[in-house]
Chains A and B, each alone.
Chain A
């Protein structure tokens, strides 16, 4: 009996081993299948050629577009209009169907690439592009799209804006939704506090004085910039002559004297009693509810703010990003770029049609008027067939466009630890601004930690 039990156990063990081997080999098959299908991640097949193959309208090519704007309530309708118009016009005519995928977590495209799904175009943030290029198979535009068509398409987009997605001289992303931070103001609270929104605060000292006045006269918070905003912070540091990352992108430099002084100024404002507290989304909601005097934020939320203010009966005003003393402010860009992963020439041709449309005149007209970002083709703002009427009705966009000549790109953190580095930077700022922690010590510690990661 014992022998039988041993025998049966042996059979089970062998079955188990077989199961594991089978699973293992199936896993390997998956890997090799994925490697084959997922040559999307290393799509060497899609090569730069003088001409891309012709698309077939009778047999349209499907491409996927992962977009976080599709997941934001204030941007969703505009982004859907952009996709629908492409599919119904150029897409139908040329033979391309773009499937929009709302990326609620901003990381779904990563997990879908990991799962071997088809991820062709991503609305990608700026800070982690280098990491994605190295590990997730995104391709330089010069390598997959025809050179002459690319050059011709980029005419009309300022070189500053083109530079935003360039790494090592190649364009890994074309600026898509794009904005700079501006100082939104609640006209009613300004007037209730005896301030004139047409004569907005210019320097950080002016902002603090106005914020305290609003708090004193109305009881509402005077100013808000959430410490975890992530990107506007960089503009604050740059505006005081500091740097976030070295020019050669080999080390972090935000803990310089200028950087520390800028963050110290913000900390003083934060603890003045007139600064809003909470996360970026909570401060946005506070401003939209009419409970905040000034709010430094990207114009991408303008459409939401505008409808909230109209519903509540107050007027929203805008001013340029505040400056330190007489040094003009240096805003950075928010938003995203289009990053592409074609796995064949025909896919590259389909993606190229979509990129041309959404970053062309019609695309930017929809993006600005319906989503809220800036037109990268700035001439559209003065074009009667483009956005002239819209910008005249929403003069706040002129404020934003006026800042473009001073704009600097947001830091693109190098290498594979880009996401960890971006988190470490934001965490240090949150700690330095919102707690009693010493600014110099906190920023220096974070800078050392980031430099360690950069050298790994």
Chain B
């Protein structure tokens, strides 16, 4: 007999169970799909605050005239900052110097360190680490100390370099290295390069350590000479690191030279050793013209962005990976 038993539990209405189930699973699905983006969110927020917001703000300021003084308002000046930028002699000179520093730093960031890394890689025992430590020491010295040491060495009347040159009769008058336009930028380049070598040697040494030794043994059995081994085995296998250092060197040459320009020449004599970054800094914080400085920053953001893209493409094309 079938009859309805009284029950304390009211049966669910038709359709309710499946609706609840669907709602829960939809929420779970939503959470599951949102999760990776939530993990990304802190990084993205920080990037927005520290990178993209200043970038957009720079774009805005490039069209304004403003001294960044609290209580004052920027004035819209259209493209005035950009037209003035390319009419300003010191800025045009600074572009030439930036190219000089960028190209001039390549031997210090690639050629010399690669040679030093290869030579020390073949050394046995403690001597390898000893030499690498010597090369690396300049890298860990504070730029201010480095600047002070080189300033003392190159001093026109009291410096060791001039005294030596005079004693050896190489020159008959002391050279004012930091106030002679023919010397100032070469000295800045040399000091920056000297400091850079240690870091680059370390990078190339680590790349060399990663090369499978069996290739060298095989080449040795086949009777290959040292130069041929370098060209056929070492060079292709360190090519990703060479391209990485090339990118770093080109993109950061201006930043690395900045400290020594500021400390040793202040861009002089008559702007002959300045670079674009130093000009931007001077315009924003000494000349109080942040609009002009932002216009310069924007132009070089685009220029360096294009260079970075080009190097990226080059890296994909030329790098050889031992997979």
Where the two chains meet, the residues of A that have a C-beta atom closer than 8 Å to any C-beta of B are 4-5, 8, 11-12, 15-16, 19-20, 23-24, 27, 31, 34-35, 37-42, 107, 110-111, 113-114, 116, 131, 135-137, 221, 226-228, 273, 276-279, 282, 285-286, 289, 291-292, 416-417, 419-420, 423, 427-428, 430-431, 434-435, 449
B45: chain A residues within 8 A (beta carbon): 15, 19
The one of A37, A227, A282, A428 in contact with B156, judged by C-beta atoms closer than 8 angstroms, is: A282
Known contacts A8-B34, A12-B44, A431-B269: A114-B156 contact under CB 8 Å: no
Query: Could you list 28 A-B pairs, sorted by A, with CB under 8 Å?
Result: A4-B33, A8-B34, A12-B40, A16-B44, A16-B48, A20-B52, A20-B56, A23-B48, A27-B57, A40-B70, A110-B286, A111-B285, A114-B67, A135-B69, A135-B72, A136-B67, A137-B71, A277-B180, A278-B178, A279-B178, A279-B268, A282-B178, A285-B157, A419-B286, A427-B269, A430-B270, A434-B176, A435-B181
A363 to chain B, nearest CB (A): 29
Additional A-B contact list (10), CB under 8 Å, known A23-B53, A34-B71, A285-B158: A16-B48, A20-B56, A41-B71, A41-B72, A228-B268, A277-B173, A277-B175, A277-B180, A279-B179, A434-B176
B52: chain A residues within 8 A (beta carbon): 20
The one of A27, A114, A273, A291 in contact with B157, judged by C-beta atoms closer than 8 angstroms, is: A291
A282 lies within 8 A of B157 (CB): yes
Q: Which of B165-196 contact A (CB under 8 A)?
A: 173-176, 178-181
B37 lies within 8 A of A12 (CB): yes
Q: Which of B255-308 contact A (CB under 8 A)?
A: 268-271, 285-289
B69 lies within 8 A of A39 (CB): no
A420 lies within 8 A of B287 (CB): yes
Question: In the bound complex, how far is the Cα of B59 from the Cα of A20, in angstroms?
Answer: 14
> Nearest residue in B to A452 (C-beta to C-beta)?
B87
Question: In the bound complex, how far is the Cα of B71 from the Cα of A40, in angstroms?
Answer: 8
A15 lies within 8 A of B44 (CB): yes
A39 lies within 8 A of B71 (CB): yes
Secondary structure dominating the interface of B: loop
A286: chain B residues within 8 A (beta carbon): 156-158
| From A8, A282, A289, A435, residue with most partner B Cβ within 10 Å | A282
A282 lies within 8 A of B179 (CB): yes
Question: In the bound complex, how far is the Cα of B56 from the Cα of A16, in angstroms?
Answer: 13
A416: chain B residues within 8 A (beta carbon): 67, 288-289
| From B40, B48, B178, B289, residue with most partner A Cβ within 10 Å | B48
B33: chain A residues within 8 A (beta carbon): 4-5, 8
A8 lies within 8 A of B56 (CB): no
B155: chain A residues within 8 A (beta carbon): 278, 282, 285
> Nearest residue in A to B53 (C-beta to C-beta)?
A23
- Is B322 in contact with chain A by the CB < 8 A criterion? no
Q: Which of B1-60 contact A (CB under 8 A)?
A: 33-34, 37, 40-41, 44-45, 48-49, 52-53, 56-57
Chain B 201-218, CB-CB to A under 8 Å as 1, else 0, gives 000000000000000000
